[in-house]
Chain A
Amino acid sequence: MSETTGPASPVRNRRPFLGGASGQVGLLAIVAIFWFIFSTLAPGFLSSFNLYALGRSLAVDIVIGFSQMVVLATGGMNLAVGSIGVCAVMAAGFLLQDLGLPISVGFAGALLLGGALGWLNGFAIVKTGVNAFIITLASASLFLGAMLILTKAVPYNGLPPEIGAFGRARLFGIVSPLLIIAIAIGAALVVLYRFTALGRQILAAGANPRAAAMSGVPVDRVIVISHVLSGMLAAAAGLMVVTRLGAAMPATGGEEWLLPSFLGPVLGGTLLSGGSVAVIGTMIGAALVTTIRSGLLVLQIGNFWLQLFLGLILLFAVLVDRYRSVYAERRSVGVKS
């Protein structure tokens, strides 16, 4: 059967850093190495309180990564994840504190706002045909500016106490319910991309929009839906921060989410060019980000170092990826060297 895999057009379907199951094992190993280093240098790293705090911020990082991953799947991007997140945060504050609505209604409203802002992004991208980079760069600023004007950047500190209590809750002593929620969202996304018509269409539209359109996939619609999903996930991440702080703070999200939002999916093996996602990989990638942040905190190395480290990790990831693909190619064509 060798001729069926004809060499006429050997397509290299390699993924960015550490794609596939073997790559995710490698990524997990890197996370483990960092755990080993941090716990050796600072025994407090493995304290039950730190593990609990780590799990709680991991939950937020995972969902931020997902909100970027769902648009990367279409070959686009969303630079407004942080802005949508903080808009949802302040909307929740407004609905709960100023209007006194029940928690479920307030949170649902915040998620809807996130979805609506995502829809605006998607609609603008599809209707104008302008690159997602430009549209979401503009909307990131627009959403954030509008939020600051409307709220005057005043935090909502008087939220119902149940919210803070939920954020502080512990299952089995060390597990935050937020982490369970993040994992549940991940499971839902696996189902979406692997087992639903919509998920398949999103990936097809991301891999080759023209071919997908010519096969009857409503490409514009699936792009808009992906942006709605991205907005809702960004809002969900924002609400997780609200439960953690017990308050709606205008300093949540924003640009601070941008790098982590890309790091998780890219480290995990999601293709920037679209058409392929790695849900589990994104979770492990987020774990690396959270681990480094937490480790630097425990070691009492300043926050300034965090950015530098995350940048280095991203570069390192790209280099390793490059090396791996060259090595794999050499080995497979039997060059002796």
Chain B
Amino acid sequence: MVLTIESVSKAFPGVQALDGVSLDLKPGEIHALMGENGAGKSTLIKIITGLHQPDSGRVLLNGEPVHFASPRDAIGAGISAVHQERNLIPRFSVGENILLERPPTRGGMIDYDTINRDARKWLDMLDRGIDTRAEVRTLSVAQMQIVEIAKALSLEAKILLMDEPTASITEHETAALFTLLKRLRENGVAIIFVSHKLEEVFAIADRVTVLRDGKNAAVGEPMTTMTRDKLVSLMIGRKERIAVLGERNADMADVVLEARDLSTSDGHRNIDLALHRGEILGLYGLVGAGRSELARAILGGAEITSGELRLHDKPVRIRDMHEALSKYRLGYISEDRKAEGLILMHSVRENIAITIWRKLAGFLGLISGARESRAVEPFVEKLEIRTPSLAQTVGNLSGGNQQKVSIAKWLAANAEILIVDEPTVGIDIKTKTDIHELLGEIARDGVSIILISSDMPEMVAVADRILVMHGFRIVGEVANDHQYETASKAIMACIHAVEDDEPTSAG
């Protein structure tokens, strides 16, 4: 055993995060660590890397008890990690971030040539499209994640911990990462791999440890004896529920939002799309295809350089989100809920009511707290947001419940059109199913939804029609038959067709 966790416990204010959890890690294995949100996976990773100290229990490295006071100690002992939270310095370049702990020097000065060369080496294994000299803050969420992974790999550690490394990257990049992880495994590296995606765990892991409510539900079970159903029931303590989306009848005669030959300052060219009342229109594409950017351009975040944006058959220019909401009842659920979806330090009530404060305000702009609570409560109930009270700080909720809060505020605002960007990234199975059903339900109520997602099963399950984007253009449309095999094949065919036309964009 290269790493052994012996009945480790850890409590945070008001919650027992880990309760006597054990895990053992062999050299040359990929060990999946699974569990629902809040099961304690991230806490365990943080204890191994010295970010948290256990209240009781031991961590043994090669049979010796160790005590890491800080992440630096853990790195020194040959443990490197990709955490769920981003740990990059936004104004440093990609290369500087990757080699942050040990910048190569020449004559006492930082040697940028070596930085760029070394960083290039690790990045190339995952994604050739990222410039090592680019400032990290200019990258997309997915590219940042790739940089995080490259940084962890570059330490060439004997133990590699990956906390949801694939949560925000594409299938392409995931495949590249898996090839790399398998190679590392052959070289004797021990890997702990945290993921919500069952397909991934079955594709790559040798053994699995499952946590449920801070306790072990399984310790180091070989994946060969594991089935999907068994794994899910270990994680959630019962059987998986399939999303029931029911029949929906989008009114295809009523176009609520339309782009005609739209080009933007972000680089979109000749975008044509039409969203109908009560329809869920999928916008699928690989990272860098320009999907989120298109959403932002519609909402006034980029300039429309030619073509037309029409709402309810009238040409419009939306200046900002304030106008989008107040004038056109247009809502946007961000893919980055922590940075722009929620105000983490404020309460559940405030986070939901933020879109309707103006409406709630009465005489002299005064809002009654009781009235605010009454306005918010139905949505907390409808979305089954698990919170001790409306006054709870949103930052203390689990990821799934946080996402529900960020959806609830648009339902409260009574939005007619919703742009939903990667709604289930990093969210556990049960909540994911809940959110899919919820999207179906609100579409049935007449809300028109643009769903942006890189999660193919999600796209196939939820969308009515799928537009495929590539290189800031729309390259195809797939009438979704909700059959994974055929739909995913049709989608990938659209992308491959244009990739073959552009030999320059190899990668």
Contacts and interface: CB of A to CB of B under 8 A. Distances in A.
- A196, A215, A218, A335: which has the most chain B beta carbons within 10 Å? A215
A62 to B, nearest CB: 23
Nearest to A198: B365
A308 interface: no
B345 A275 contact: yes
Interface in A200-232: 200-201, 203-204, 207-208, 210-218
- B85, B342, B357: which has the most chain A beta carbons within 10 Å? B357
Contact of A216 (B17, B322, B368, B399): B322
- B85, B334, B343: which has the most chain A beta carbons within 10 Å? B343
A335 B340 contact: no
Nearest to B344: A11
Instruction: Say which size band chain A's interface belongs to.
Output: 35 or more
A197 B361 contact: yes
B351 to A, nearest CB: 8
Interface in B326-340: 326, 332, 334, 338-340
B340 to A, nearest CB: 4
- A6, A210, A333: which has the most chain B beta carbons within 10 Å? A6
A241 B49 CA distance: 58
Contacts of A197: 357-358, 360-361, 365, 367
Nearest to A276: B345
B398 interface: yes
Given A196-B367, A216-B413, A6 B38 contact: yes
A191 interface: yes
Given A207-B345, A215-B354, A216-B321, A7 B340 contact: no
A302 interface: no
A4 interface: yes
Given A9-B85, A334-B11, A210 B396 contact: no
Contacts of B401: 4
Contact of B320 (A11, A195, A198, A213): A213
B158 interface: no
Interface in A1-38: 1-11, 13
Given A211-B341, A217-B354, A3 B398 contact: yes
A101 B399 CA distance: 62
A216 B325 contact: yes
A210 B324 CA distance: 15
B109 interface: no
- A9, A212, A275: which has the most chain B beta carbons within 10 Å? A9
Contacts of B353: 200
B392 interface: yes
B143 interface: no
Contact of A210 (B17, B340, B388, B397): B340
B339 A13 contact: no
A335 B393 contact: no
A300 interface: no
Contacts of A201: 354, 357
Interface in B357-389: 357-358, 360-361, 364-369, 386-388
Contacts of B11: 333-334
Interface residues of B, number: 61
A104 interface: no
B37 interface: yes
Contacts of B344: 9, 11, 207-208
A204 B366 CA distance: 16
Nearest to B415: A216
Interface in B391-424: 392-393, 395-399, 401, 409, 413
Contact of A6 (B55, B85, B346, B398): B398
Contact of A211 (B15, B339, B365, B399): B339
A197 B357 CA distance: 5
B433 interface: no
B209 interface: no
Given A5-B388, A8-B399, A204-B350, A215 B321 contact: yes
B367 A275 contact: no
A335 B54 CA distance: 10
Contacts of A210: 339-340
Contacts of B339: 208, 210-211
B249 interface: no
A141 B42 CA distance: 51
A200 B343 contact: no
B318 to A, nearest CB: 11
A276 B350 CA distance: 13
Contacts of B387: 4
A197 B363 CA distance: 11
A5 B392 contact: yes
Nearest to B43: A7
B386 A1 contact: yes
A13 B395 CA distance: 9
- B322, B326, B358: which has the most chain A beta carbons within 10 Å? B322
A9 B14 contact: no
A332 interface: yes
Contacts of B350: 200, 204
Interface in A271-307: 275-276
A11 B213 contact: no
Nearest to B426: A8
Given A1-B388, A216-B326, A11 B393 contact: yes
B198 to A, nearest CB: 20
A237 B340 CA distance: 37
B13 interface: yes
Interface string A60-81: 0000000000000000000000
A200 B357 contact: yes
Contacts of A211: 334, 339-343
Contacts of B395: 9-11, 13
A7 B395 CA distance: 10
Contact of A13 (B55, B393, B397): B393
Interface string B24-65: 000000000000011010110000000000010000000000
Given A3-B398, A11-B344, A13-B393, A195 B38 contact: no
Nearest to B342: A211
Contact of B343 (A3, A4, A208, A333): A208
Contacts of A275: 343, 345-346
Contact of A204 (B343, B358, B369, B386): B343
B398 A8 contact: yes
A334 B340 CA distance: 34
- A3, A214, A218: which has the most chain B beta carbons within 10 Å? A214
Interface in A316-337: 332-335
Contacts of B341: 211, 214
Interface string B243-259: 00000000000000000
Nearest to A194: B369
5 contacts: A13-B345, A195-B367, A197-B361, A204-B354, A335-B55
The 6 closest A-B pairs by CB, nearest first: A11-B395, A6-B38, A216-B325, A6-B398, A7-B17, A197-B357
Given A9-B85, A211-B339, A334-B55, 19 more contacts: A4-B397, A4-B398, A6-B398, A7-B40, A7-B42, A8-B398, A197-B358, A197-B367, A200-B357, A201-B357, A204-B350, A208-B340, A210-B339, A211-B341, A213-B322, A214-B334, A216-B326, A217-B322, A276-B345
